Amino acid sequence: MEVDVRGDLEFAIRQLKKKLQIDGIKRELKRREYYEKPSVKKRRKQAEARRKLRKFNRIRKSL
């Protein structure tokens, strides 16, 4: 991942953080910090799939 630094270092840091958040890397690192039991992992993945489906249906209805 690259962020162009043209002058303001604080601005470049904010951009990097934003890119990490959009890509989901920040969330992934936080999730991998501790061991996750397989049953918990399965429930989390199912919940993510439900949220994704709900979002897709909401977008589809608005079109």
pLDDT at 57 (0 to 100): 93
Q: According to the model, what pLDDT value does residue 42 have?
A: 96
Q: In the chain, what are the domain boundaries?
A: 1-32, 36-63
**Model pLDDT, residue 41:** 94
- pLDDT of amino acid 33: 93
- Using the structure block, give the residue that is written with the tokens 């949220």: 51
Residue-by-residue pLDDT tens, the chain, 63 positions: 777 778 888 888 888 888 888 888 888 888 899 999 999 999 999 999 999 999 999 989 887
The residue among 18, 19, 14 whose CA lies nearest residue 1 is 19
Q: Is 48 in contact with 40 (CB distance < 8 Å)?
A: no
